[in-house]
Homo-oligomer: A and B are copies of this chain.
């Protein structure tokens, strides 16, 4: 399975597409963002329930600030910002783009109102239209990649809007639901099958065509020992068995920092789980929902995933192992497009049909971001983008673990085999789960 192909340089530039096509995609992504915000009341859009969570209002503005700052200001001479103070309010962490409002105080900002923020979005949209409609080929070559990265950036925030509003609603004793109606139960989970992969020298990282972030490059060689990968995600039912076996109290199963964290925060079940009268419930975007044992486990930290794996006599896969397993599979699954917005159990498998019969790994894309045991590090030869956009990824390469594969709130058009998401190991509010791996073949 190793490849002789020459290592290709990182080229995040999009294919040469026309302005019309770009504008079409721009409008589609922007409209999708607003559809996600549509069910919310103005009051919902203000709240920040912890530093990691941003108000919906802020997301709506920040993604517009991104286009304003990196596309319109430098490349549309006629552009005038709607309000020059927004640059301060809506910069997230780009130090080189200027001073910014303190992250953990975003929930203190009632103005601009939601309506004013929609006006800001419209103002930026007009600027982009003007830029693209009037662009000759030269400028377009410069701007198109910037718009492309802006759209991927906005798709990330679409996911975060859903993640964050889930948190906001969860801390409200009234437990409001983001959307109405139940979702279908998951089919029964089959016994895990272990899919073998050969050892050898593999190429890892982005190939060079299509969009990728700088942290997915350069493509490089990596030696893997033979390994086995579980063909499906760990389920709620399996995790319940770990809990019932004293998983949260047995220090020997945990990383030292993990056990300390669990004790300090009194963790005794996954985030969003609640026990009521002896039965387990979990909070979902559709409100409270009784726990289904066949559903993929979601909202666990790296620490919990790692402890579970040790308990199960297995381990988490490395990010390279995951990528090797995923790279030849189509990017499809229970992503944002299904509208479920909640993990779903792997399709039941009969003698034939779908992924079920070939014993390959399932659920690699969608459902939940999968924790890997890889700490987030630069690939050999990595260099970040120049300027403020270089802050997008590189400066976070410390005390974060890599997650792969996207979740039920990730757009399918946003994900790919080489995509590296990353979070600190105690994070739980994202749609995070995992699958197991083992040494050997």
Contacts and interface: CB of A to CB of B under 8 A. Distances in A.
Interface of A: 41-47, 49, 57, 85, 88-89, 93, 95-96, 101, 105, 107-114, 168-169, 171-174, 176, 201, 220-225, 251-252, 254-259, 302-303, 373-375, 377-378, 380-381, 390-391, 395-399, 425, 439
A404 to B, nearest CB: 16
A267 to B, nearest CB: 16
B391 A252 contact: yes
As for how many copies of this chain the complex holds, the number is 4
A95 B263 CA distance: 14
Contact of A373 (B43, B254, B259, B377): B377
Given A46-B47, A85-B173, A96-B252, 10 more contacts: A42-B113, A43-B110, A43-B114, A88-B173, A95-B252, A107-B107, A111-B176, A201-B223, A224-B380, A398-B425
A385 B39 CA distance: 47
Nearest to A114: B43
29 contacts: A42-B43, A42-B113, A43-B57, A44-B110, A46-B47, A47-B107, A47-B109, A49-B108, A88-B173, A89-B173, A96-B252, A109-B171, A110-B169, A110-B176, A220-B225, A221-B223, A222-B223, A224-B380, A225-B380, A254-B395, A255-B396, A256-B395, A257-B398, A257-B399, A302-B398, A303-B398, A375-B375, A381-B439, A398-B399
Contact of A201 (B44, B201, B255): B201
Contact of A168 (B49, B108, B257): B108
A100 to B, nearest CB: 10
Contacts of A96: 251-252
Contacts of A95: 251-252, 259
B110 A172 contact: yes
Contacts of A176: 110-111
A54 to B, nearest CB: 14
